[in-house]
């Protein structure tokens, strides 16, 4: 398995800061969601057509990949035209920078909320067909009502596209549906192409995000189940500091992320948690 982090963990950082941190913490790649305070990728200078070549070259100089472009397109909500336009712009950027995957969602909320599954299925099929021209897989995240493995498996079965697949957000299936990782992998293992990792605990029934390994999400168990089925894709830290500015800086989260995921992705490598300030 390979390690990455999502850029929603570092609001306001420059591309150079992102790459330096990824290199320093032994990441294999960087997952793109936003940069320099902007989540709309087409408005970020670094990803405009005239600068993309240099952006990708800086990435490669650090020995890093850009495996995933995470769009915020919600296929099961309203505003269909706006949603599809965002998805298409993200797809175009993913193709330009050599990403293998693009992420879409059913709804914005991670917990179960009403969604138009029929609409989502149609739109998802259209995006998969468009992405096939670029050799990109469109991944639906285990989010909202599709955080339940049974529902997601049926969605994938009906989508029936060779470049469809699942982004397993471990937090969502465990927290909102109380699914043991073994159950999720049993039902979705054949579809999982990418994984998001984050941790939380309940504080008076409110979800409180915390450093990886300090909450009660069974992260190690989830990674072990992926290892058992021979999963060799990315495990990406989704540190939601973009949405919750009070969270600690990304560097601290990466230290915990390494300690949790490192034994499965980088066996034998040193951990970062103790004395992380020295590493940073």
CATH code of the domain in which 119 resides: 3.20.20.150
Given a contact cutoff of 8 angstroms between Cβ atoms, the answer to whether 1 and 220 are in contact is no
What whole-number distance in Å separates Cα of residue 194 and Cα of residue 211? 21
Burial 27-51 (b: 16+ CB within 10 A, else e): bbbbbbbbbbeebebeebebbeeee
Q: What is the pLDDT of residues 144-196, one digit of tens each?
A: 999 999 999 999 999 999 999 999 999 999 999 999 999 999 999 999 999 99
Q: What is the pLDDT of residues 233-266, one digit of tens each?
A: 999 999 999 999 999 999 999 999 999 998 888 7
How far is residue 70 CA from its own chain's centroid? 7
What whole-number distance in Å separates Cα of residue 191 and Cα of residue 168? 9
Specify the DSSP element, H or E, that contains 31: strand 29-31
Q: What is the pLDDT of residues 21-49, one digit of tens each?
A: 999 999 999 999 988 877 778 788 888 88
Q: How many domains does the chain divide into?
A: 1
Taking 90 as the threshold, does the pLDDT of residue 77 lie above it?
A: no
User: 4 versus 48: which is more confidently predicted?
Assistant: 4
Specify the DSSP element, H or E, that contains 167: strand 164-169
Among candidate residues 56, 140, 124, 62, the one with its CA nearest the CA of residue 93: 56
pTM attached to this predicted model: 0.92
Q: What is the pLDDT of residues 99-150, one digit of tens each?
A: 999 999 999 888 888 899 999 999 999 999 999 999 999 999 999 999 999 9
Three-state secondary structure call for residue 242? helix
Domain with 118, as residue range(s), is 2-279
pLDDT band, very low/low/confident/very high, at 271 (cuts 50, 70, 90): low
């Amino acid at each position: 398995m390979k390690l990455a982090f999502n850029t929603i963990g570092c609001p306001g950082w420059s591309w150079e800061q992102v790459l330096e941190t990824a290199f320093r913490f032994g990441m294999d790649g960087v997952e793109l969601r936003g940069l320099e305070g902007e989540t709309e990728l087409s408005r970020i200078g670094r990803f405009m057509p005239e600068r993309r070549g240099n952006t990708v070259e800086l990435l490669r100089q650090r020995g890093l990949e850009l495996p995933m472009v995470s769009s915020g397109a919600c296929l099961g909500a309203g505003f269909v035209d706006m949603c599809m336009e965002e998805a298409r712009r993200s797809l175009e950027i993913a193709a330009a920078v050599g990403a293998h995957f693009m992420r879409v969602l059913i709804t914005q909320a991670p917990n179960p909320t009403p969604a138009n599954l029929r609409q989502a299925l149609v739109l998802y099929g259209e995006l998969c067909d468009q992405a096939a021209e670029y050799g990109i897989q469109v991944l639906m995240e285990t989010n909202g009502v599709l955080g339940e493995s049974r529902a997601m498996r049926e969605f994938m079965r009906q989508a029936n596209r060779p470049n469809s697949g699942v982004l397993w957000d471990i937090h969502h299936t465990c927290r909102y549906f109380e699914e043991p990782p073994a159950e999720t992998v049993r039902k979705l293992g054949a579809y999982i192409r990418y994984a998001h990792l984050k941790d939380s605990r309940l504080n008076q029934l409110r979800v409180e995000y915390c450093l990886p390994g300090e909450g009660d999400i069974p992260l190690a168990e989830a990674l072990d189940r992926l290892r058992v089925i021979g999963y060799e894709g990315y495990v990406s830290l989704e540190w939601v500091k973009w949405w919750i500015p009070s969270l600690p800086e990304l560097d601290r989260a990466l230290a915990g992320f390494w300690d949790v995921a490192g034994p499965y992705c980088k066996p034998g490598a040193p951990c970062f948690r103790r004395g992380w300030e020295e590493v940073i």
